[in-house]
């Protein structure tokens, strides 16, 4: 037999009506995150409010048995407009899990005073002074994309978005 499990990792999501959906109970943190990320890719199909990954220590009584690793809130994506933009308020990062979007925000790894944001589809990357400025940059990008409409974006328009 294998080694006994001393802790478990539990990903879950909370719906807008307050109900919680447990996504399983896993022996590794990596597996819990994989399951949560896979579920969040379908988040636009439900009305979700938040999600979390919690660690439970086995055979511990009381609230000391539980540690919240991460809590994220769901918002409308500033680029694609779908409710698939998950914000980790503790770590100042955000990622759109919507298909073909992947807009993101995170702290700069070199300078914590800088907030990076981007949209991989057109290799858009911008450095900002605040989270609010990063969100505003992505909203401006989303507005410009919506203004282009359903037509295919020309290479010149894509280049001008990248340059900005």
Local structure of 131: helix, strand or coil: helix
pLDDT class for 125, splitting at 50, 70, 90? very high
pLDDT of residue 121: 87
The answer to whether residue 146 scores a pLDDT higher than 90 is no
Of residues 63, 61, 85, the one with CA closest to residue 74:
85
pLDDT of residue 131: 87
pLDDT class for 138, splitting at 50, 70, 90? very high
pLDDT of residue 32: 97
Q: Is 35 left (phi over 0), alpha (psi -120 to 50) or beta?
A: alpha
pTM, entire model: 0.78
Residues 6+ apart with CB under 8 A from 42: none
The answer to whether residue 154 scores a pLDDT higher than 60 is no
Contact present, 32 and 13 (Cβ < 8 Å): no
- Where b means 16+ CB within 10 Å and e means fewer, 117-148 reads bbbebeebebebeebeebbebbeebbeebeee
Over range 79-98, report the average pLDDT. 89
Q: Quote the mean pLDDT of the chain.
A: 87
Q: 19-44, pLDDT tens digit by residue? A: 999 999 999 999 999 999 999 988 88
Residue corresponding to tokens 């938040």:
50
Q: Residue 92 burial by CB count (10 A; 0-12/13-18/19+): exposed, middle or buried?
A: middle
Of residues 59, 68, 53, the one with CA closest to residue 5:
59
Residue corresponding to tokens 């055979």:
59
The C-alpha angle 9, 26, 12, rounded to 5 degrees, equals 55
């Amino acid at each position: 037999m294998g080694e006994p499990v001393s802790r478990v990792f539990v990903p879950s999501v909370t719906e807008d009506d307050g109900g919680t959906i447990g996504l399983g109970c896993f022996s590794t943190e990596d597996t819990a995150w994989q399951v949560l990320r896979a579920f969040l890719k379908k988040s636009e199909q439900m009305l979700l409010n938040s999600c979390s990954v919690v660690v439970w220590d086995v055979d511990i009584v009381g609230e000391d048995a539980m540690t919240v690793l991460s809590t994220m809130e769901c918002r409308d994506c500033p680029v694609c407009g779908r409710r698939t933009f998950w914000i980790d308020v503790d770590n100042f990062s955000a990622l759109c899990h919507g298909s073909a979007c992947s807009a993101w925000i995170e702290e700069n790894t070199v300078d914590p005073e800088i907030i990076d944001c981007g949209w991989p589809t057109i290799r858009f990357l911008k450095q900002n002074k605040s989270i609010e400025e990063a969100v505003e940059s992505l909203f401006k990008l989303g507005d410009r994309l919506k203004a282009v409409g359903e037509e295919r974006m020309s290479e010149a328009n894509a280049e001008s978005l990248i340059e900005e």
